[in-house]
Amino acid sequence: MRAVTFTEFSSPPTIEDVPPPLLPAGGAVVRVAATGVCRSDWHAWSGHDDSVSLPHIPGHEFAGVIEEIDPAVPGFKKGDRVTAPFIFACGDCAHCRAGHTQVCPNQQQPGFDLKGSWAEYIAVTNAATNLVHLPDELDFDIAAGLGCRFGTAYHAVTVQGRVQPGETVAVIGCGGVGLSCVMIARAAGARVIAVDRAQSALDAAEKLGATPLYSDETTVARIHELGGAHVSIDALGARITATMAIESLRPKGRHVQVGLLLGEDANPPLPYGRAIALELELLGSHGLATSEYAALLSDVASGHLDLAGTVGTRIGFDDLPAALPAMNEPPRAGSFGITVAVL
């Protein structure tokens, strides 16, 4: 099969002919119809994740058709249209049995410790746990973006944030995940305050129904002038944005940390005194449980969520090698930012 590979970190990726993946016991082999291009792929290629072994095939967002499946796997067959979250769970542990596959301690991730989806075929382990049926009317390119950015935002807003109609949600950072959070929170009936320093990002958030707020030293005070937030979401991931989000909460508020805190920001000093006094909830959010796809796909099918604008750029398979070094430049603000390769 053809696959995008790299043999050294940050070296130019190339398209090579490699053996197709073997069928895992209890798993499936999926013919990839579309695969996402995510900044996490860039981190893997840049050597920022020690789970990546060389040579490597990147890619963790995909949708396609089952090519081969273990006959013991119930509910799926060859030819089914499917996708999967970016976390392949074991299906066996207490967390998986409780439906919390996104925090499975035995998890594996395609494009990181497993070969990824920038290829004609990808192996999916524990298919009964990790595969998700796709409705015929949902295009593969749209579906490929659900497993990471949009799915991550959906879990953050609806499950961790428990956003309710009439609540105020402050979204700090309006990149791809942040704008997805804005859309989902608005669809849930919340009032959304969108915070960013890029005017294009604020304009995009405003088009989705948010109140735009330029980020500066007065941001927290201005959010409280608007009544404070029931829910705050740091979709960027920095000590300053995490602190800003928590300080924007009203009493009994809920903070959701979805932006990754890396490097010097990995262990930020947070206002725990405020959290104690106001009985705030500080919540992490990681990916999307497989069981949550049903609600997400139902919201899409009903028109409650319109995913048509979530894909920013469509490219061909032959364009994928250039996509990784292109991400050496900062992402463009004000866009969902999802680039999808259609095979």
Chosen domain end from 284, 299, 320: 284
Domain of residue 28 covers: 2-147+288-342
| Residue where one domain finishes, among candidates 253, 269, 284 | 284
pTM, whole model, 2 decimals? 0.93
| Spatial CA neighbour of 187 closest among 287, 300, 85, 288 | 300
Asked whether residue 308 falls in the same domain as residue 328, the answer is yes
Residue 37, domain CATH: 3.90.180.10
Write 217-226 long-range contacts (CB < 8 A, 24+). Answer: 219/195, 219/244, 219/248, 220/244, 220/247, 220/248, 223/170, 223/193, 223/195, 223/248, 224/248, 224/250, 226/168, 226/193
Q: Report the alpha-carbon distance of residue 14 to residue 327 in Å, rounded.
A: 16
Tell me, yes or no, whether 138 and 48 share the same domain.
Answer: yes
Residue at which a domain ends, from 264, 284, 304: 284
Residues 21 and 70 in one domain: yes
The answer to whether residues 158 and 275 belong to one domain is yes
209 and 337 part of one domain: no
**Residues 159, 278 within the same domain:** yes
pLDDT given for residue 330 in this prediction: 65
The answer to whether residues 138 and 121 belong to one domain is yes
Residues of the chain with pLDDT under 50: none
Mark whether 279 and 297 lie in a shared domain. Answer: no
Quote the pLDDT of residue 343: 80
Helices 199-207 and 176-187, axial angle in degrees (round to 10): 20
161 and 200 housed in the same domain: yes
How many structural domains comprise the chain? 2
Are residues 251 and 211 both part of a single domain? yes
pLDDT (tens digit per residue) in 286-321: 999 999 999 999 999 999 998 888 887 889 999 999
Task: Verify that 44 and 102 share a domain, yes or no.
Answer: yes
Residues 16 and 100 in one domain: yes
Q: In angstroms, rounded to a whole number, what is the distance separating the alpha carbons of residues 54 and 57?
A: 9
Query: 16-68: per-residue pLDDT in tens?
Result: 999 999 999 999 999 999 999 988 888 899 988 889 999 999 999 999 999 99
- We report the CATH number of the domain holding residue 179 as 3.40.50.720
